[in-house]
Amino acid sequence: MSNMTSTSRGSTSSSNGLLTVTIANSHPDDPATDDNDDDDDLLVDPDDPFDITHTKNAPPETLKRWRQAALVLNASRRFRYTLDLKKDEEKEQKKSMIRSHAQVIRAALLFRLAGERELVTSTAAVVSPAPVGEYAVGLEQLVSMAKNQNISALQQYGGVKGLSNLLKSNPDKGISGDDADLLKRKNAFGTNTYPRKKGRSFWRFLWESWQDLTLIILIIAAVVSLVLGIKTEGLEEGWYDGGSIAFAVFLVIIVTAGSDYRQSLQFQNLNAEKQNIKLEVIRGGRTIQISIFDIVVGDVVPLKIGDQVPADGVLITGHSLAIDESSMTGESKIIHKDQKVPFLMSGCKVADGVGAMLVTGVGINTEWGLLMASISEDTGEETPLQVRLNGVATFVGIVGLTVAVSVLAVLLGRYFSGHTKDLDEKVQFVAGQTSASKVVDGVIKIFTIAVTIVVVAVPEGLPLAVTLTLAYSMRKMMADKALVRRLSACETMGSATTICSDKTGTLTLNQMTVVEAYVGRKKLNPPDDLTKLHPEVLSLINEGIAQNTTGNVFVPKDGEEVEVSGSPTEKAILSWAVKLGMSFDLIRSNSTILHVFPFNSEKKRGGVAVKLVNSAVHIHWKGAAEIVLGTCTQYLDSDGHLKSIEEEKVIFKKAIEDMAAQSLRCVAIAYRSYDLDKIPSNEEELDQWSLPEHELVLLAIVGIKDPCRPGVKDAVKVCTEAGVKVRMVTGDNLQTAKAIALECGILMSNEDAVEPNIIEGKTFRELSEKEREQVVKKITVMGRSSPTDKLLLVQALRKGGEVVAVTGDGTNDAPALHEADIGLSMGIQGTEVAKESSDIIILDDNFASVVKVVRWGRSVYANIQKFIQFQLTVNVAALIINVVAAISSGNVPLNAVQLLWVNLIMDTLGALALATEPPTDSLMHRTPVGRREPLITNVMWRNLVVQALYQVAVLLVLNFGGESILRNQDSKAHTIQVKNTLIFNAFVFCQIFNEFNARKPDEMNVFRGVTKNRLFMGIVGITFVLQIIIIEFLGNFTKTVRLDWKLWLASLCIGIFSWPLAIVGKFIPVPKTPLSRSFMRSFRRLRKSRAAQ
């Protein structure tokens, strides 16, 4: 199969995610890289349906293609954790149906607004609010108002202020939020949850396990055998043959269903965690963080860029607030919200601006709730490894099917030609003499053996082992502070060659404090020293900080410590102002906000226009120090004197550079006066008005310390040793970025801090595409970068053959997170937009957690390889033993029940034991896993062949020479039974001990860490005990006899010998070029030479 052969080291994909060309990293010792005659060896076989190295955003046609090509015995089980294409289509249809309703409402609203006064519905048509319980407005009225976006109803209720009074809320302070109040609101208006479809029950998994075609055939054969056995031999003896097969099949079904059910519970828990969004609400005047499920009607919710609207509601206040309603309407148009268009729909995203909303509808009483309740959220998703393993399973299955058909033909031929004898050396079939029932019974037994060979040969559990190890890994990764949103990202992380990391909060602690401050030319020491500040300067600084912020200051009445909320930068500056004596609520009540320009990651600054009590207007700006400084023409010194800045700019720039060199984030605060007459009075014009950003007066420059996270330097070192280059991408200036990069070990020395190793976003952006691709490999630090620069960096790296992981927290990071091979969003600082565009959420925003994800990604791949080696060894040995024995003697040493037990060890128990190995440090001492690296490496082939040859040799010796070795037994029939039991016992013991070898395919010490994996030890122990029970007590079912202690010891010795054999085998050298690649090269040369003739 081409998916097993068209491979190369360190390969990657084109930007669309579907690989058409493999780019191999050169290796000086690899002869393949020097063979210029084989350029076509780098080309991928376009006809291989299993050659999908990136399932992220893969088209449905590609996904359908590999499903149709796979050899599958049980489709419902095999494809359970893949994307359900049919359900996905149904989901989109339901979405469009609900969206069409939202579009109709929106169209009606626009039509109504267009007519303005003339077409406004008469307020008499609106139903007056009817009291419900303690509230003066009812649930149905609120739902109707929100659903129809009825402004007339809102106006009749007294606008948003009147509605909040009816709901016993306050637009500024929210609800009281005590337990009794919350309970009343939930009883009156419902909870912010919706009915979820129940997960599959155990019985459903049991039913799906039944769907395996071969197991159905075996059950039918068992029933026929049971009927014939009872008819010919009586009930007491005749039920064993059919009953034992039926029991074995039932055991396989129950164990398989139990394993699958356990996995599904893990996925259900992870899905519930994904939906549990944390957000801020104002209750009792205090900003608190709660779960989205705890939102109630009457809550006041602050909104900022990137937030998800958590429920239906009405706008209280908003500045440049724009909502992306595409999740509800299906249109990507951004809708601006103001008092004319105040209704907000649950599930939509804040595209721009800031605001606050009053919640009027929650849960199933919203359009979003109806949508979520009507669709199945988890339609599955396949991973690249899963697709490739389906290819391997299909190839092995075809071989197994061929072998089974051959065995069937040989056994039937021998049976009807009179060459098959029973244990007493009697010919089983004599033409004209053997009864029809005996012939049918004999044929069924032969047919059962052939079908059982198919069961063993088709590794149905191989692709499912990926799901098993991913479910295990995802659960464990939660403990390591990583929430996997997309399964494929978990394994793709093992191939990551570079990580583009944010600085703030990821490499640093995100615990910011102002440690240096300049007011005018004077440095405040300490930074909160009030004595050196003129009252007018202090008043302007406090006014600018209090009004130009998205944070909040809550002063408890009982004299407790002041609570500051907001982003870490906002909290640091607000805390500094509080120390300077700022009275947050008083300043905000003494001035009115006219217009807001929210902080913008492109412009690196944010501003606000405020009107004071005396009608004077101040425009305050705050942002990146050197950028704000560039717009200033004057400064206020600490004595309150206004001075020209031109002559002093060098001094200010030096102060900024000095602070940046100490890895401080530098923020400048500036303002200017403005004429009220020049400000648009019309609300629409005011929304479009741009805040004046020139001729500013500099008030202060502060240096904010954000210390490096403990352990980040070690984490960066681990990445470097693992062949993963860490790049820092930050919005801070180059000096700050350089200082932090040196502190974290991303830059090794000052000598490295030269262009293009360290580059500004603007410089990189201005390069041509070709130039970007040339310099991108050298870039280690990018400062003053915008989200666009991050996207360009990711695109250039991917084009250069890198597998890129990128971190992001802002809304504007979404394109880069989507474009990257693995998008990593931040759980604490990340916006909902960023999280939805990402593949993995780093819950603690810590870079060390990113490194743990790399470990787990490599572990997934390593565990699958362990399982492949173990399973294929069993497959090869079992097939060869039965085929050789069938052809030579007409009997098989391993009967149907025994093969089913071996299949259970190999498939379900083997996967549980090996696919759940925890990651080890040695994984981070290797280079990243190439995307097209062979699943079965040369090392694995060597181990597999050594063990399989040993097992085949020993068991065939026992099969053909066993009678002479065991000649002391009572009768020939009993001797043959003992021989076959010994073969079965030795074969199972070989698998038990080989399971240890499979743990460490390339290490001598296969026992390292084995006692830490309790599941592995438990499964090995259970298998061992069950094997003893089968031999000693269940002989009638398995057609075995009891063994004496000598034969038990012999079986044990045969199994244990696989350990020293594995050590000896590891001394056998293997070529560096993958065997699959060598085979493909020879095949293509042959094809070339034939084509040339």
Alpha-carbon distance of 881 to 951, in angstroms, equals 9
What percent of the residues of the chain are helix, what percent strand, and what percent coil, each to the nearest 5?
55, 15, 30
Instruction: Locate 201 and state its tokens.
Output: 């029950």
**Residue that the structure tokens 């155990």 belong to:** 202
Query: Is 502 one of the annotated active-site residues of the chain?
Result: yes
Residue 341: φ, ψ to 5°: -125, 75
* Measured torsion, CA atoms of residues 44, 48, 53, 56, in degrees rounded to the nearest 10: 130
Alpha-carbon distance of 751 to 1013, in angstroms, equals 46
Alpha-carbon distance of 495 to 661, in angstroms, equals 35
Alpha-carbon distance of 440 to 229, in angstroms, equals 11
Instruction: Locate 421 and state its tokens.
Output: 């004898």
**Residue that the structure tokens 């717009």 belong to:** 631
Specify whether the CB–CB gap between 561 and 516 falls below 8 A: no
Selection from 499, 470, 384 nearest residue 932 by Cα? 384
Alpha-carbon distance of 751 to 753, in angstroms, equals 5
DSSP 968: T
Separate counts of helices (H) and strands (E) for the chain:
40, 26
CA–CA distance from 250 to each of 215, 216, 218, 247 (Å)?
Answer: 9, 11, 11, 5
Instruction: Locate 1082 and state its tokens.
Output: 């020879």
The set of residues, in sequence order, having a beta carbon less than 8 Å from that of 390 and lying 6+ positions away, is 50, 66, 70, 78, 463
Strands in 153-246 per DSSP E: none
Residue 310: φ, ψ to 5°: -80, -15
Instruction: Locate 527 and state its tokens.
Output: 């930074």
Alpha-carbon distance of 109 to 104, in angstroms, equals 9
**Residue that the structure tokens 């003129």 belong to:** 534
Residue type at 934?
P
CA angle 991, 997, 1002 (to 5 degrees): 150
Specify whether the CB–CB gap between 313 and 189 falls below 8 A: no
Beta-bridge partner residues of 705 = 513, 664
Q: What is the DSSP string of 971-1009?
A: -HHHHHHHHHHHHHHHHHHHHHHHHHHHH-TT-S-TTTT
Specify whether the CB–CB gap between 660 and 783 falls below 8 A: no
The catalytically annotated residue of 30, 48, 294, 502 is 502
CA–CA distance from 1026 to each of 461, 567, 895, 1023, 1057 (Å)?
Answer: 21, 59, 18, 5, 21
Q: Residue 144: count other Cβ atoms within 10 Å of its Cβ.
A: 15
Q: Which residue numbers are catalytic?
A: 502
